[in-house]
Amino acid sequence: MQKRNKISVIGAGNVGATVAQRILEMRLGDVALVDVVEGVPQGKGLDLLQSAPVMGISGDIIGTNTYEETAGSDLIIITAGMARKPGMSRDDLLSANVKIVSEVTKASAPLSPDAKIIVVTNPMDVMAYVAWKVSGFSKERVIGMGGVLDAARFRTFISIELGISADSVQAFVLGGHGDQMLPLPRYTTVAGIPITELMDKDSIDSVVERTRNGGAEIVSMLKTGSAFYAPAAAAAAMAQAILLDQKRILPCSVLLEGEYKVSGAFTGVPVILGMDGVEEILQVTLTAEERAAFEKSVEAVRKGQEATGF
């Protein structure tokens, strides 16, 4: 019998629990759901397990407050950390979440030395850097989630603007997962047609700005939390690409070492995701204006990395 994949989800809040649910429903493997709050991962894990007969799912899930049950994981997804509140930027979370992400990485990585790590916690690019530093894993095996989410938001807002299905939209986003991310209309298409042929400049600028503020818009509405359905879907899509060796091209935050003329910083670029993690970084030509915006976004990430002390 073929061994099932094992996925550890660290953090059983809204994002983590929803990631676990999507992983089970996508039949990607068994899940260990970890959280420091006693009873929360156990309760949510049992609840998800009881949904399996209804959904026709055979995967297993265990909730735990310790890391022993994560041993031998094929994939570790880190969602643990403080969530944004109204008026907060992703960078406002930096100091608190550096401590959390470094601790959970230190506890989980040695137990699963062959795993890949997907980082969801904000500020995501900086937290991916922390997980890479602490784990000692190769750069191909530590990947930040934000680009998939940013592209999904861009696709959604374009579909709303044009009154079409988001399935027809292929969006391209570069840079850090923050207010200085770089949606690229020139590389964004609807059924192969560049959106620059379908939308005027004001409409495109409006959609780009809404994409950049996509997370903040949801935070302002919820008031006591932040987005979790779309971030969980993005992380699950990345997990699927890795565990099923799909070789999908997805925008992810990875360590650049010369690509795009950037070295030593995690930032969002298109990559091929497969069983080895990041199998290739794809490079596209940027205009002078796009390159300036990209470098500004990278510089913001670099400052965050420097502030971690790692």
159-190: per-residue pLDDT in tens? 999 999 999 999 999 999 988 899 999 999 99
Indicate whether 39 belongs to any domain: yes
On whether both 20 and 83 belong to a single domain, the answer is yes
Q: Is the pLDDT of residue 83 over 90?
A: no
| pLDDT, position 201 | 96
**pLDDT-derived band of residue 192, with 50, 70 and 90 as boundaries?**
very high
Is residue 123 reached through a cis peptide bond, with omega within 30 degrees of 0 on the bond before it? yes
| pLDDT, position 3 | 82
| pLDDT, position 2 | 66
Rounded distance between C-alpha atoms, residue 249 and residue 259, angstroms: 16
Residue-wise pLDDT tens digits, 227-261: 999 999 999 999 999 999 999 999 999 999 999 99
Indicate whether 66 belongs to any domain: yes
CATH number at residue 251: 3.90.110.10
Which three-class secondary structure state does DSSP give residue 39? coil
Nearest partner of 8 among 33, 45, 25, judged by Cα:
33
In the residue annotation, 125 being an active-site residue is answered as no
Indicate whether 253 belongs to any domain: yes
On whether both 283 and 175 belong to a single domain, the answer is yes
- Residue ranges making up the domain that contains 97: 6-145
CATH number at residue 31: 3.40.50.720
Residue 54: CB partners within 8 Å, gap ≥ 6? Answer: none
Complete DSSP assignment for 206-252: HHHHHHHTHHHHHHHHHSS----HHHHHHHHHHHHHHHTT--EEEEE
Of 112, 145, 178, the position where a domain reaches its end is: 145
On whether both 132 and 112 belong to a single domain, the answer is yes
On whether both 93 and 231 belong to a single domain, the answer is no
Provide the domain count of the chain: 2
Of 145, 180, 201, the position where a domain reaches its end is: 145
| pLDDT, position 90 | 62
On whether both 161 and 95 belong to a single domain, the answer is no
On whether both 163 and 294 belong to a single domain, the answer is yes
On whether both 152 and 241 belong to a single domain, the answer is yes
Residue-wise pLDDT tens digits, 247-303: 999 999 999 999 999 999 999 999 999 999 999 999 999 999 999 999 999 999 999
**pLDDT-derived band of residue 58, with 50, 70 and 90 as boundaries?**
confident
Indicate whether 1 belongs to any domain: no
On whether both 23 and 169 belong to a single domain, the answer is no
**What's the whole-number average pLDDT of the chain?**
95
Residue-wise pLDDT tens digits, 12-57: 999 999 999 999 999 999 999 999 999 999 999 999 999 999 999 8
- Of the residues 177, 210, 212, 302, only one is catalytic, namely 177
Of 145, 163, 194, the position where a domain reaches its end is: 145
**Roughly how many angstroms between the first and final C-alpha of the chain, as a whole number?**
43
Indicate whether 69 belongs to any domain: yes
Rounded distance between C-alpha atoms, residue 23 and residue 148, angstroms: 16
On whether both 114 and 125 belong to a single domain, the answer is yes
Indicate whether 61 belongs to any domain: yes
On whether both 104 and 196 belong to a single domain, the answer is no
| pLDDT, position 1 | 55
Are 81 and 96 in contact by the 8 Å Cβ rule? The answer is yes
On whether both 22 and 46 belong to a single domain, the answer is yes
Residue-wise pLDDT tens digits, 100-155: 999 999 999 999 999 999 999 999 999 999 999 999 999 999 999 989 999 999 99
With a pLDDT cut of 90, the percent of the chain lying above it is 91
Which three-class secondary structure state does DSSP give residue 6? strand
Rounded distance between C-alpha atoms, residue 127 and residue 141, angstroms: 14
Rounded distance between C-alpha atoms, residue 295 and residue 273, angstroms: 24
Q: Is the pTM of this model over 0.85?
A: yes
On whether both 212 and 91 belong to a single domain, the answer is no
